[in-house]
């Protein structure tokens, strides 16, 4: 794109995937500057930010992507915007949909407007496979029908299509990604894999929704970061790309693998009431991004081994994350603190 220093505006990098992406950028590129904008919701972790502050030409700003003043200030001189910032918990979206509409649609609008005025060279909108809804057979391609089934997924679809409209209407160089469930280091503990790993490290049971029959596709976060990096360079403007792990398992099978890798048995499982509107299966066809040369480097077992090792090595991080978790989460969804 350019040989001079490239400046990225990465939103949401106090959170899971975006923080891994910033590490990825510094590990794979020279001559870069990274600006992070993050509101520090309960999903943002101060220790995640502290770790990133070791890098040169890195600046962190606490603020809201819905705030035009800060977005305008930070956008000046930016080459690439990667918008990860989102209210990202399906469970919370059932409880409080309004904040999802504000950030996942309104915040995307604010970023798109300023990106357009500042003529950024690439705008990556991080969407999700949940915009497709559930699928019982086969896999979603990028042109599949969009039928989100919870307020999180519907809000993300709003941001996804708004970004596309800025490509069509204003020529903004937008690329939209739709990834499957990510796992790896620094994931907030409301997500199933880190919750289960840290519960087991504490000798606590693991709560499985319903009978654990839902099928999810698991993507190791580093493979996701590599895909985004590739799309910044080679993605076509206005296009959507699926990014999946192609590692589909039921939640119960996932639970069994984690239990085994951590030396525990099924007596640690506690079945809890299923979530309303719980999608039964997601599955992505990733042929489109594979044609650009991307492929996963991790299968589920190798990714889980790296993830378990990270949580074992970083008790300070996850113990303080657990303390910060919303008490409503335990009370409303698990019935009691596990």
Ligand X SMILES: NC(=O)c1ccc[n+]([C@@H]2O[C@H](COP(=O)([O-])OP(=O)(O)OC[C@H]3O[C@@H](n4cnc5c(N)ncnc54)[C@H](O)[C@@H]3O)[C@@H](O)[C@H]2O)c1
Q: Just list the catalytic residues.
A: 129-130, 152
Q: 48 or 264, CB closer to ligand X?
A: 48
- H helix and E strand count, the chain: 14, 12
Please compute Rg for the chain using Cα positions.
Answer: 19
Minimum distance from residue 202 beta carbon to ligand X (Å): 21
Q: 167 or 188, CB closer to ligand X?
A: 188
Helices (H), 262-299: 287-290
Minimum distance from residue 328 beta carbon to ligand X (Å): 16
Cα separations in angstroms, 181 against 1, 25, 37: 30, 21, 23
**Strand arrangement of the beta sheet that strand 215-220 belongs to:** 181-183, 215-220, 248-250
Q: 60 or 167, CB closer to ligand X?
A: 60
Contact 36, 10 (CB under 8 A): yes
Contact 47, 320 (CB under 8 A): yes
Minimum distance from residue 63 beta carbon to ligand X (Å): 7
State the residue number with the nearest CB to ligand X: 15
Q: 45 or 264, CB closer to ligand X?
A: 45
Minimum distance from residue 203 beta carbon to ligand X (Å): 26
3-state secondary structure of 59: strand
- Tell me how far apart the alpha carbons of residues 271 and 212 are, in angstroms, rounded to a whole number: 8
Contacts with ligand X, residue ranges (CB under 6 A): 11-12, 14-18, 37-41, 43-44, 64-66, 84-88, 103, 107, 126, 128, 156, 179, 181-182, 188
Minimum distance from residue 26 beta carbon to ligand X (Å): 18
Query: What is the number of other CB atoms lying within 10 angstroms of the CB of residue 55?
Result: 16
Q: 6 or 216, CB closer to ligand X?
A: 216
> Buried (b) or exposed (e) across 289-323, using 16+ Cβ within 10 A?
bbeeebebebebeebbeebbebbeeeeebbeebee
Q: What is the largest CA-CA distance in the chain?
A: 57
- Tell me how far apart the alpha carbons of residues 92 and 81 are, in angstroms, rounded to a whole number: 26
Q: 264 or 318, CB closer to ligand X?
A: 318
Minimum distance from residue 177 beta carbon to ligand X (Å): 8
């Amino acid at each position: 794109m350019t040989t001079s220093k490239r400046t990225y505006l990465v939103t949401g990098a106090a959170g899971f995937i975006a923080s891994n992406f910033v590490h990825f950028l510094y590990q794979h590129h020279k001559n870069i500057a990274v600006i992070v904008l993050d509101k520090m919701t309960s999903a943002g972790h101060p220790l995640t930010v502290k770790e990133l502050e070791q890098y040169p030409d890195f600046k962190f700003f606490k603020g809201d992507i819905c705030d035009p003043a800060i977005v305008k200030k930070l956008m000046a001189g930016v080459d690439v915007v990667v918008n990860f910032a989102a209210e990202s918990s399906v469970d919370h979206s059932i409880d409080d949909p309004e904040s999802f509409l504000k950030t996942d649609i309104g915040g995307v609008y604010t970023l798109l407007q300023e990106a357009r005025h500042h003529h950024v060279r690439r705008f990556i909108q991080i969407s999700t496979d949940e915009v497709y809804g559930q699928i019982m057979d086969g896999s979603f391609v990028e042109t599949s029908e969009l039928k989100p089934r919870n307020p999180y997924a519907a809000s993300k679809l709003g941001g996804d299509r708004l970004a596309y409209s800025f490509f069509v209407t204003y020529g903004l160089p937008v690329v939209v990604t739709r990834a499957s469930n990510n796992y790896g280091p620094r994931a907030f503990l409301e997500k199933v894999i880190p919750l289960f790993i840290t519960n087991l490290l504490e000798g606590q049971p693991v709560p499985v929704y319903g009978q654990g029959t839902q099928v999810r596709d698991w993507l190791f976060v580093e493979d996701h970061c590599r895909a985004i990096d590739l799309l910044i360079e080679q993605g076509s403007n206005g296009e959507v790309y699926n990014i999946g792990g192609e590692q589909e398992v039921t939640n119960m099978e996932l639970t069994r693998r984690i239990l085994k890798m951590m030396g525990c048995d099924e007596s640690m499982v506690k079945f809890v009431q299923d979530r309303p509107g719980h999608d039964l299966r997601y599955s992505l066809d990733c042929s489109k991004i594979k044609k650009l040369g991307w492929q996963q480097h991790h299968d589920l077992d190798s990714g889980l081994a790296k993830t378990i090792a990270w949580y074992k090595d970083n008790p300070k991080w996850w113990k303080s994350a657990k303390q910060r978790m919303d008490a409503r989460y335990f009370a409303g969804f698990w019935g009691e603190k596990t």
